[in-house]
Amino acid sequence: MSTPAEQVVTLHRPRPAAPAPASGEQRWSVDAIEALFNLPFPELMHRAQTVHRENFDPTLVEFATLLSIKTGGCAEDCGYCPQAARYDTGVEASKLMEPAEVLAAAQRAKDAGATRFCMGAAWRSPKDRDVEKVAELIRTVKSLGLESCATLGMLEEGHAQTLQEAGLDYYNHNLDTAPDFYGDIITTRDYQDRLDTLARVRKVGVKVCCGGIVGLGETRRQRAGLVAELANLTPHPESVPINNLVKVEGTPLADQVDLDPFEFVRTIAVARITMPTARVRLSAGRQQMGDGIQALCFLAGANSIFYGDKLLTTGNPDTDADVQLLERLGMNRAAPQVR
């Protein structure tokens, strides 16, 4: 029979680590990432926090604001999206906002503490004239000293260059989910279409903001597949928004079963480990999480949030609540890094 001291040693013996990333062309295999997901929660959190501290000040969180500059009327059939014209969700289509309106919104965001201003337009793929108008909006935002980001759908040749010349810092184009689950959610564009847009953005030197949505009905392995796609981009995205499905009446996913909140935290931790220098952002669905889960996400390596009362068309925690939560946690807003 073992002595009490021997029992203590046995109980605290470290478990085997998750497999290292695959060598060769693919830096992270789906198997290796799934093994991270499967780690005991305390060990996964410790590993994520260790990686986070090696690359960032763990007490700082970037504040970004997202404005819908052109809402609704989208021709896509994304099963989660209330802006798809084919779904009856109560979202009315609008025209592209004028520069003066965007300037006022950007100023309010800056005054409220945001350092990055993101503009979203519900297009499948913007036309040349649309890109020229957005370029003017980018110059407007940059005049205030804010980082700029845009998400406009698929970009054709030359579009990314126009946006870059206007001063765009980041382009957002999410992969949404794993390749083998993608067709269950979207049929109006292919996975390769998304990768092609990201390649065009990279080619002109604009930083990539690219993440996905969890809680769509995917398996844990498919969540690992999404992270693998992101982590194996060369280089991995500088900004990785992780969205928790916001169920909207009228969309095909309105009745989807809620994702376990701890599974969302695990996704944040795995994203941090596999993309160590990225800003990992809590995006859609944060309003439903509660303060405790958000705090766990910060411990898991999230260091960016969308700040403001709305994300395109869905709700978001109000600004006072975000400031108060950071104060309670002894955390602060990160300073801007504008080029």
Catalytic annotation, residues: 74, 78, 81, 118, 149, 209, 281
Closest-CA residue to 66 (of 202, 180, 170, 159): 170
| HEC secondary structure over 44-93 | HHHHHHHHHHHHCCCCEEEEEEEEEEECCCECCCCCCCCCECCCCCCCCC
State the Cα–Cα distance between residues 81 and 68, nearest whole angstrom: 14
N-terminal to C-terminal alpha carbon distance within the chain = 65
What's the longest Cα–Cα distance across the chain? 79
H-helix or E-strand containing 223?
helix 220-231
Instruction: Name the residue type at position 226.
Output: L
DSSP E strands: which ranges in 130-184? 147-151, 170-172
Q: Any idea what the Cα angle at residue 303 is, between residues 272 and 305, rounded to 5°?
A: 120
Closest-CA residue to 219 (of 184, 255, 269, 175): 184
CB 269 within 8 A of CB 45: yes
